[in-house]
Amino acid sequence: MNSGSTSIEPLNGEVAEKFIGGSGYAAWIIYRETPMDIDPLDPSNKLVFMTGPLTGTITPSAGRYVVCALSPLTGIWAESHAAGYWGPELKFAGFDGVIVEGRSEKSVYLWIHESGCEIRDAKHLWGLDTYSCEDALKKELGLDIRVASIGPAGENLVKYANIINDRGRAAGRCGLGAVMGSKNLKAIAVKGSVKLIPAAEEDKLASYVKKLYVTIRSHPTVQIYSSYGTDGIMSMMYEYGDVPIKHFTEGVWSGIENISGEVMAKKVLKRNWACFRCPIACGRIVEVKDGSYKMEEGMGPEYETVASLGALCLNDDIEAIVKANELCNKYGVDTITTGVSIAFLMECCDRGLISREVNGLRIEWGNPNLILKLIRKIAFREGIGAFLAEGVRKMSETMGEEAKQIAMHVKGLEVPMHDPRAFKGMGLQYATSHRGACHLRGEVFIIEQGERIPDLGIHERVYRFDLETKPRVVKIMQDWHDVLDSLILCKFAFIPPAAVAAILSMVVGRHITVKELTEVGERIYNLKRIIDVKRGVTAKDDSLPYRLLKEPLKNGGAAGQVVELEKMLSKYYELRGWDGDGVPSRERLIQLGLKGVAEEDLEF
């Protein structure tokens, strides 16, 4: 970005063998090439877009890409994944990834095609929302291109700004849109000419995938997602006490029945939408035909969005939630952090920590119009929006100890919409996740609901309130999910690990076992942990908000429960080969093939 130049470097085969692709390959790049003592909005913070070896092949649900850097929201490792069609299109243009360095003096966009990459002026795009930016670039470059862009939130360096492609698919968490904005990079447009990436054993893979479709479609959760989208799990998760209500303070709420996937299907659904080669089609195309929340056809909200901008704020108007989701996508802000930040503000008002009347708005629960106004203020950093734009950790640090006690984040990343008091393994997962509180870095709640994965050695039923079994299960699932995030595969397909290994073997033309993949997953997990360690993370950061540790809910499916984290954490460290301060031992790093990392002076 500094010089306005581009270059092409070959994929490192040795690194791909050790780290697969996706977030694993990106972690290797960032570990080696990004200074660990910088502010994440510094030009030297490298922003890495990566696909994986399965992206663009006939593999089902392999249409994803990942964006990685140091996070302006948390200060540590950041990765954010998005689906749709942008990732495969990058592969079709002949590239596995994009590394963005430095900062441009003026606003620019990247135009990537088979002949290379051009840096072009984006003066006419700066200030546009993500939908308008995509439309403008398609008019300029052709309707068949794919665009990933930032909106006003990324331009204004909102700490949880995201990156949007395909008019509503989001690389949402950790604020990587702000990193993109700090480089004055508005968008990346891509166009390839091939339609599929061939596998080494294409005919064999085609036959295998045809049979695999039956396995995918027969999974009970997949059937829910196909019928009602990810919001289809709302009622079920509510019964567990998993859905956070009124900023994680209530276990029962009558409004839940108004925001389910079934209600969305009846009121606003136009049709289903599928990402590249996806047999599930969990995406929702919705429309609100009239009224205060009127909107044209567009991408509907996921479960996390409905819960964060709905139940968390006591907003039970599904049409208002649909509109709020559209605004977040257009402005380019993460819906989870947005909802948690607004709910935090509401509780602070209840406690008298901040005025209830601010910028001509009355801060109160359950007011959908207030939520919509606050989303805009966040994106443009207007008034109270500038305060909300920093995320709950920074907000709470300016307000005193009482505010810190109710701030719902881990390592600076806001807690997502699964309450770990309902699934205690999720508490351990949140506490030890390398990007902060994250439901997707393991999805242990699936195991705690009764799912077994024999391929990974999980044969027994795991009770959700049990503690003894959780350290082992959490470690297994975290390592496996770093495999999925490096391949890259959508986790909603629930493809058995043995099938994943078989697919990769056919794609690359070499036999690969589940055991080999799990070892790679553990290697990647530990490298990301080392990045966090170098950024100052210690065992004290592997914790949870006070509310989850000490304040049980009075009612609902998780009534009376808290997360007894300390009873799980030491065993988890032992299984990981980490010392008492949460630092991977030299011995374990060497065992994992990270000898160079182990021998570096990391100030252990």
Tens digit of pLDDT for each residue in 449-469?
A: 999 999 999 999 999 999 999
Reference 575, options 566, 567, 584; nearest CA is 584
CA distance 528 to 435: 9
pLDDT digits (tens, 9 = 90+) for 103-113: 999 999 999 99
Reference 92, options 195, 199, 9; nearest CA is 195
**Which pLDDT score, from 0 to 100, does residue 423 have?**
98
CA angle 580, 584, 588 (to 5 degrees): 120
CA distance 564 to 547: 12
Shared domain for 376 and 252, answered yes or no, is: yes
What does pLDDT average to over the chain?
97
Mean pLDDT across 331-338: 98
517 in a structural domain: yes
Question: Where do we find the tokens 């590394």?
Answer: 99
- For 216-347, strand residue ranges (E) read 269-273, 283-288, 295-299
Mean pLDDT across 408-437: 98
284 in a structural domain: yes
pLDDT at 199 exceeding the cut of 90? yes
* Residue range of the domain that includes 76: 13-190
Strand-pair partners of 245: 250
pLDDT digits (tens, 9 = 90+) for 142-157: 999 999 999 999 999 9
pLDDT digits (tens, 9 = 90+) for 281-301: 999 999 999 999 999 999 999
Shared domain for 181 and 233, answered yes or no, is: no
Shared domain for 446 and 576, answered yes or no, is: yes
- φ, ψ of residue 313 in degrees (nearest 5): -110, 10
Reference 589, options 579, 217, 580; nearest CA is 579
Q: What is the CATH number of the domain that holds 363?
A: 1.10.569.10
CA distance 134 to 261: 28
Domain final position from 163, 190, 217: 190
Residue 260, both tokens = 């389910």
- Backbone dihedral region of 219: left (phi > 0), alpha (psi from -120 to 50 degrees) or beta? beta
Domain final position from 372, 394, 413: 413
Q: Is 341 exposed, middle or buried (0-12, 13-18, 19+ CB in 10 A)?
A: buried
pLDDT digits (tens, 9 = 90+) for 235-283: 999 999 999 999 999 999 999 999 999 999 999 999 999 999 999 999 9
Shared domain for 402 and 328, answered yes or no, is: yes
**Which pLDDT score, from 0 to 100, does residue 604 have?**
37
Please provide the size of the chain in residues.
604
62 in a structural domain: yes
Number of Cβ within a 10 Å radius of residue 69: 26
CA distance 282 to 275: 9
Domain final position from 386, 413, 440: 413
Strand-pair partners of 189: 111, 147
Distance from the first to the final alpha carbon of the chain: 35
559 in a structural domain: no
Shared domain for 310 and 337, answered yes or no, is: yes
Q: How far is residue 220 from each of residues 273, 322, 453, 484, 493, measured CA to CA in Å?
A: 19, 26, 15, 20, 11
pLDDT digits (tens, 9 = 90+) for 534-590: 999 999 999 999 999 999 999 999 999 999 999 999 999 999 999 999 999 999 999
Shared domain for 408 and 489, answered yes or no, is: no
Tally the domains of the chain: 3
Q: What is the CATH number of the domain that holds 135?
A: 3.60.9.10
Shared domain for 431 and 398, answered yes or no, is: no
**Which pLDDT score, from 0 to 100, does residue 600 have?**
81
Is 23 in contact with 50 (CB distance < 8 Å)? Answer: yes
576 in a structural domain: yes
Reference 515, options 529, 526, 505; nearest CA is 505
195 in a structural domain: no
Shared domain for 178 and 240, answered yes or no, is: no
Q: Is 514 helix (H, G, I), strand (E, B) or coil?
A: helix
pLDDT at 509 exceeding the cut of 70? yes
Q: Provide the CB-side half-sphere exposure for 256 (13 A, CA).
A: 22
pLDDT digits (tens, 9 = 90+) for 349-359: 999 999 999 99
Shared domain for 173 and 244, answered yes or no, is: no
Is 185 in contact with 87 (CB distance < 8 Å)? Answer: no
Reference 309, options 232, 235, 417; nearest CA is 417
- φ, ψ of residue 119 in degrees (nearest 5): -100, 120
pLDDT at 602 exceeding the cut of 70? no
DSSP structure string for 341-409: HHHHHHHHHHTTSS-SEETTEE--TT-HHHHHHHHHHHHHT-THHHHHTT-HHHHHHTT-HHHHHH--E
pLDDT digits (tens, 9 = 90+) for 30-52: 999 999 999 999 999 999 999 99
CA distance 203 to 123: 47
Q: What is the CATH number of the domain that holds 460?
A: 1.10.599.10
Mean pLDDT across 317-334: 98
pLDDT at 603 exceeding the cut of 60? no
The 97-100 sheet, strands edge to edge = 77-82, 65-70, 47-50, 97-100
Shared domain for 434 and 382, answered yes or no, is: no
CA distance 518 to 270: 41
214 in a structural domain: no
Shared domain for 505 and 358, answered yes or no, is: no
**Which pLDDT score, from 0 to 100, does residue 601 have?**
58
156 in a structural domain: yes
Shared domain for 326 and 459, answered yes or no, is: no
pLDDT band of residue 599 (cuts 50, 70, 90) is confident
- For 448-538, strand residue ranges (E) read none
